Structure 1
Amino acid sequence: MRIEEEYKKTGYFWLPGQEEKKIPGVLSIDDGGKIELEVVGNFSESIASANDNDDISRIIGFVEKDGILTLDDCFYTIRNGLFGGISKSKVRANRAFIGAAWNKEETVTFNSLSFSVDCLDEWVGISGIHVANDWDNDTATISYNPPEKISFSLDNGMKLEICFAYTLPGFPNITEAKITQRAYLRLTSVELRELNEFTAIAFKITNLMCFAMDEVVSLKSMSATSSQIQRTVQEKQHPIPISIYYQSIPFHEKKPKKTWHEMLFNFGSIKTNAQQVVNNWLNAYDYLYPALNLYFSTKTGAQKYLEGKFLALAQGLETYHRRTSNETLMELALFDSLVEEIITGCPENHAEWLRGRLTHGNEINLSKRLKRITDPFKKHLGTSAERSKMLRKIVDTRNYLTHYSEELKDNSAKGRDLWVLCQKMEVIFSLHFLKVIGFTAEKIDVVVENCYPLKQKLDAI
């Protein structure tokens, strides 16, 4: 999670049901979402106690400016008592809810979750700001019409909305009149749902944005509302927004800058069928999660070395084909019959070993799997000879980096050749993911033609 402004607040903290036992402390939330609380002493029955059985899984606090809050899933990282001087303890929390307090055993539930991601405004590409310049008379007119929110129904019963927050000029505005607008996403549910249900969808949508922008973007500015937490304003009930912090993934310390023409696709490319695209992506996690996870591990920096990145991509492509195809070498009944025939002729003391060796004997090999998944996009991947050479090199390199067999060493890719293979494999993933979310062959051709980063990967030699 990206924290764009330093969060460091002084306040008092206590365990649920023990408000009379407040202790002073400082709450800090770093960029990335790491939550740390430093308190004087500790949360024991006696401030000088060192009872290791203290349950501090949930902590309530009241801090400057923000008021009441809840820290959830907490544990000590440094635990000290108070023996004649000032001693401090440190606590880590996995989640922070700013704006409300929950009891020890109370489930945290919400009806909506709002969040943004890096470069979302550029991806959405919708603005209500209009500027008219009259150069002849040295005048300019600036107007603002808030864009209408865009709503999609999700297959899990939630709604996803693209919303627009804005600020208008204040008074007096003698030297400056400023209008700002930012896009954000909101998940809504009629019934109350636990936070994990919302954040699971937010994680998948953030990864969709990473894929669409061809960039690691981080979730930010998260808040939630609940029908059970409201306040009265002018005799009307209004939900209280609860700010939420945690260490979400993906996260990259450097904030990206991305313009629409550097992206794989933007909202304008899918606006006519955006609801289906989003649902296709979310549903793909049910059967493609391992392949998606391997692909994104190469984008977020989890693979520190080029060899590791290559192996993750190779395994990811193999996994993708396994999850999308039931192809085998022969029909199952024929294979089972053949296995039994072979086992029958095997010495009894070796039968179990042989059966184990034959367990996966009906699966097609990596070379055939790669050919199957490149065939739909072969016109983008060079001539027949170039494709065959690329696939052979991927197989030989995967086998060498997996087994380090000396006979494969000379045939494996190294250095720049290995980097080029990774570029090509990323392209194959991208083209298939476009197909998964509903892009037609014609629309994929348009993406290949107009996406400069994709063309760079295709042209890498």
Structure 2
Amino acid sequence: MTKNFELKGEWFLPSNKTKRISGSLIYDIDKGITLKLHGNFNDFPNLSDKSDNQYDIILGLTSKSEEITLYNIFLSFSEGIRLVQNQEVGTPSSEYIVNYIFRGAHFNTQEDIKFDQLVTEISDLEEWVGISGFIKDFDFIKKIEMQKNHEFKLDYKLPSTINFPLSENLDGQFNFVMIPSSEAIHYQKQFLITQRTELILKYKEEKNIEDILNDLFIFQSFLILGLYEKSHPKSITFYNEKNKKNYGNDNIVKREVKLYFHISDQKIEKQKTFRDMLFSYGNIEDKFPELIQNWFKKYNKLESCFKLLIEQFYNEKRFSENTFLNLAQAAESFHAHTKDRPKMPKEEYTEMKNEILSKVDSKYHTWLKDQFNFGNHLNLQTRLEELLTFCSCDMIDKIIGNKNEFIKNVKNSRNYYTHYSLSLKKKAIKGSELFYLTQKLKIILVSAFLIELGFDKNILNQILEEKEHRFFHFLTKL
């Protein structure tokens, strides 16, 4: 999904495969996916696929006989037929916006798009896993001697696959692929070995495309916590035990179906080291299977607040009051989903409520009952206090500074930027102070998610200390 391409061929609907329109499918990493046709599917009468110029499936056969399935398509432009007296009629063109391309197979319905295995490369996954097959087993003195003799030794062994369960029906795998340069026939003056790291998701039974992509996003979200930076898939390939191709001579293999979709604002690829990450696989290797399994188990419960957090990594170049509000909401939501409790026991609260209502004129009861509906819920201040206690370690305390001041600023600023009340305006912080407050909320939430997964606080504190200069120096200096 990192290179542009154009596929020319014929395009048709599953319900009418004989009516075909020639055209081009264009994948542009900046602009998205466009299908340009010399004709219009609306010209075909009585098609069940058509609904307000939206199509679930459009099939294609390229000029190189490659099967294509387009999924989730919208008509964006269509010319009408122009009649000119005493002239031939030209073919009007049309354009469609495409959300997904499946390259390598035809699927007639949305329900047919199912797989039991996904293979993907994700940006910075190789660096995060950090396992290389290149062997450096000779000492410094031997290396100097070899250099004097103009010798060079290269040893490489493909790393073993790393397996880890993700759920009852899903297993994960880090798979290492080595690609050697092609051998020269007569004379060789260079040799190149390239190693890639793949994430493989293996299902015990086939799953629909939405569920598989959701599982990929869940893993990618965990990776973002470690990278402390956005990430995206670079390639996605699907397989299904039931979807095979017969090449003859008993050569039957599972079809390889590649997925393409538009990723907005792709990150610029640059060489990354462990110093550029909050933590790497090496920091948590022993506990990784437990942590990633907990992440898959708890993600759905924490999804709403996590998406508010992850948005900050994708919009890090843009800051506004809404950035702060989203993280304040995420902090409140995280506490509500993991540590929620009433202010007082339910029985005591009900008894207090009934006693108050019995002593107050009935004409005030409607108003009072509205207040009682939320009166036993924890307020933002209490939730922040308990969240800071939950995350507390030497480095978090150092980053936060004065806890009471921090909580007061979050509470007052949240209330002002939510309601814009003039009485709160003086209490709210603005400009760079609001930016720094937001950055503090960001690391608190990342730490809270990690601790909730089972991350050891001592290890977390050590990691934060090691990465203080890289990520938090400007906050601790405050």
TM over 0.5: yes
Distance 1:372 1:238, change over 3 A: same
416-425 or 75-84, which deviates more: 75-84
163-172 or 102-111, which deviates more: 102-111
SS at match of 1:327: coil
Structure 1 partner of 2:123: 118
Distance 2:119 2:72 in 1: 22
Is structure 2 residue 371 aligned with structure 1 residue 357? Answer: yes
252-261 or 263-272, which deviates more: 252-261
Is structure 2 residue 73 aligned with structure 1 residue 68? Answer: no
Structure 1 partner of 2:257: 242
Q: Kindly provide the CA deviation profile for residues 212-261 of structure 1, in whole angstroms up to 9, marking residues without a partner as x.
A: 1000111220010011221246524321210012246xx53332533211
Distance 1:52 1:394, change over 3 A: closer
Structure 1 residue 454, shift from structure 2 partner:
3.9
SS at match of 1:161: strand
Q: Report if aligned partners of 1:294, 1:312 keep a CA contact under 8 Å in 2.
A: yes
Alignment map for 1:308-323 (pairs within 5 Å): 308-323=322-337
Distance 1:10 1:460, change over 3 A: farther
Alignment map for 1:59-458 (pairs within 5 Å): 59-65=58-64, 67-83=66-82, 84-104=89-109, 106-130=111-135, 134-172=146-184, 174-232=188-246, 235-247=250-262, 252-257=265-270, 258-301=272-315, 304-376=318-390, 377=392, 379-380=394-395, 381-382=397-398, 386-452=402-468, 453-456=470-473, 458=475
Q: Kindly provide the CA deviation profile for residues 40-70 of structure 1, in whole angstroms up to 9, marking residues without a partner as x.
A: 11124559x9x97677421111224571111
Q: Report if aligned partners of 1:66, 1:99 keep a CA contact under 8 Å in 2.
A: no
Paired amino acid for 2:29: D
SS at match of 2:238: strand
Q: Report if aligned partners of 1:165, 1:181 keep a CA contact under 8 Å in 2.
A: yes
Q: Report if aligned partners of 1:284, 1:436 keep a CA contact under 8 Å in 2.
A: no
What's the % identity of the aligned pairs?
Answer: 25
Paired amino acid for 1:455: F
Structure 1 residue 445, shift from structure 2 partner:
1.6
Structure 1 residue 183, shift from structure 2 partner:
0.6
Q: Which runs of 5+ in 2 are unaligned?
A: 83-88
Distance 1:353 1:236 in 2: 76
342-351 or 211-220, which deviates more: 342-351
205-214 or 229-238, which deviates more: 229-238
57-66 or 83-92, which deviates more: 57-66
TM-score (norm 1): 0.92
TM-score (norm 2): 0.88
SS at match of 2:152: strand
Paired amino acid for 2:178: Y
Structure 1 residue 278, shift from structure 2 partner:
0.7
Q: Kindly provide the CA deviation profile for residues 419-450 of structure 1, in whole angstroms up to 9, marking residues without a partner as x.
A: 11111111211211220222112111211121
Paired amino acid for 1:144: Y
Structure 2 partner of 1:36: 34
Q: Which runs of 5+ in 1 are unaligned?
A: none
165-174 or 351-360, which deviates more: 165-174
Distance 1:217 1:54, change over 3 A: closer
351-360 or 382-391, which deviates more: 382-391
Distance 2:452 2:428 in 1: 31
Paired amino acid for 1:225: Y
Distance 1:222 1:460, change over 3 A: farther
Paired amino acid for 1:294: L
Distance 1:59 1:439 in 2: 46
Q: Report if aligned partners of 1:210, 1:217 keep a CA contact under 8 Å in 2.
A: yes
Paired amino acid for 2:32: K
Distance 1:86 1:139, change over 3 A: farther
Q: Report if aligned partners of 1:94, 1:246 keep a CA contact under 8 Å in 2.
A: yes
